[in-house]
């Protein structure tokens, strides 16, 4: 199969970039694959990209050139915000090529993209045809103008039927699919397919299990890192933190004088995996709706359990007491109780859980399984295009 994959890189690398790169690496082993990428800029260049995003003829021309040269059987879109824009969807449709789009977030429904704003879940946009509340609340970059421009862009393309031209959307979880299906977007449920992310298997040798818990991720409000730290303070629970972000300085200050909590800074994946493999559990205390954190899949691949918040799609990724457990991320007592209960398990129980985690990874999140699901979705998109010519 000839596959054209399109993605816009964010200014700061993130999970969507990783998924795009992994799927390209996977598919290119057995198929002819070309990529078309864009890069979000800062400053005045970024301002121009934002303004042109509603109808970016330069991005459209670049896409048409790639389609003429490569002649793909299917086009797979990841992020189009904001350097490319929704015009890519209309361009693909005009060329008569089936197209698939992965919905890594909720940007089609709300300028916030994460349905999280000002330290709490923000769901108002799900009930509004035009997300006026999100604009008034400055739900994108804390800017009234930027929130309006983004909201208008996606509303305009909703009105002219752009989103209806995608043959198949990919949701990372059943939870995300349910939000899109029940939203005001008005796209038939059969156009949404659920396909989780994946990670390549590790060659890491089995590690000695240590008593610490580990957090790996961005240090920002929506990740719940400060609530986790406050919960663990003054307990006998050992927590190690890896990552970077806007709350880094606050994290460093908050753990001073608490020897059971250590901040290891930002580390490359090759250094993180051995630390995750040695932990008794990965902690994911997010207070927002996550997509599908790669860190969870990597933890399972090395046999490490996951203790996470009970919000959004995260409970779908846990087999209670088998691969992990969930907790209310806003309840300090519940967080401590969850970690304490896990800490008290016997070595034999933890060893059995580690085996289950690895088995869960191999039965759900391997490259081979993911490729099969991707190809099935591509074929569905091709059939949909034939039926709707």
Q: Using a CB cutoff of 8 Å and minimum separation of 24, what contacts does 385-389 make?
A: 385/96, 385/97, 385/98, 385/167, 388/167, 389/96
- The CATH superfamily holding the domain 2-198+367-387 is Glycogen Phosphorylase B; (3.40.50.2000)
Q: With cut-offs at 50, 70 and 90, classify the pLDDT of residue 119.
A: confident
Q: With cut-offs at 50, 70 and 90, classify the pLDDT of residue 206.
A: low
CATH architecture of 213-364: 3-Layer(aba) Sandwich (3.40)
Residue ranges of alpha helices (H) inside 71-173 are 87-94, 132-136, 144-159
Indicate where the chain has its CATH 3.40.50.2000 domain(s).
Answer: 2-198+367-387, 213-364
Cα–Cα distance for residue pair 311/313, rounded to 1 Å? 7
- Average model confidence (pLDDT) across the chain: 94
- Contact in structure between 104 and 172 (CB atoms under 8 Å): yes
Q: With cut-offs at 50, 70 and 90, classify the pLDDT of residue 275.
A: very high
Model confidence pTM above 0.95: no
């Amino acid at each position: 199969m000839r596959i054209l994959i399109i993605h816009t890189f964010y200014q700061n690398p993130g999970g969507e970039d990783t998924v795009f790169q992994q799927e390209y690496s996977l598919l290119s082993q057995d198929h002819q694959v070309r990529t078309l990428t864009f890069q979000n800029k800062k400053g005045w260049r970024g301002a121009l990209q934002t303004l042109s995003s509603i109808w970016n003829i330069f991005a459209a021309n670049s896409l048409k050139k790639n389609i003429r040269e490569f002649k793909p059987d299917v086009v797979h879109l990841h992020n189009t915000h904001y350097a490319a824009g929704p015009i890519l969807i209309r361009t693909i449709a005009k060329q008569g090529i089936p197209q698939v789009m992965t919905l890594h977030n909720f940007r089609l429904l709300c300028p916030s993209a994460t349905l999280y704003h000002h330290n709490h879940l923000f769901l108002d946009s799900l009930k509004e045809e035009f997300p006026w509340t999100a604009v008034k609340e400055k739900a994108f970059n804390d800017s009234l103008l930027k929130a309006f421009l983004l909201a208008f862009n996606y509303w305009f393309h909703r009105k002219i039927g752009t989103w209806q031209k995608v043959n198949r959307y990919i949701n990372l979880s059943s939870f995300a699919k349910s939000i899109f299906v029940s939203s005001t977007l008005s796209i038939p449920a059969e156009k949404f397919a659920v396909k989780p992310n994946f990670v390549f298997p590790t060659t890491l040798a089995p590690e000695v299990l240590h008593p610490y818990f580990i957090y790996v991720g961005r240090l920002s409000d929506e990740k719940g890192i400060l609530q986790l730290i406050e919960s663990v303070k003054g307990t006998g629970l050992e927590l190690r933190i890896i990552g970077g972000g806007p709350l880094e300085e606050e994290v460093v200050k908050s753990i001073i004088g608490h020897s059971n909590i250590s901040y290891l800074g930002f580390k490359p994946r090759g250094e993180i995996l051995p630390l995750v493999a040695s932990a008794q559990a990965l902690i994911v205390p997010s207070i927002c709706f996550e997509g599908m954190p790669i860190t969870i899949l990597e933890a399972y691949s090395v046999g490490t359990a996951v203790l996470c918040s009970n919000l959004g799609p995260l409970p779908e990724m846990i087999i209670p007491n088998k691969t992990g457990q969930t907790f209310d991320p806003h309840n300090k007592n519940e967080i401590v109780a969850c970690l304490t209960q896990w800490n008290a398990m016997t070595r034999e129980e933890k060893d059995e859980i580690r085996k289950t985690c690895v088995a869960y990874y191999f039965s759900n999140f391997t490259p081979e399984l993911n490729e099969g699901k991707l190809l099935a979705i591509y074929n569905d998109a091709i059939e949909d295009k034939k039926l709707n010519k």
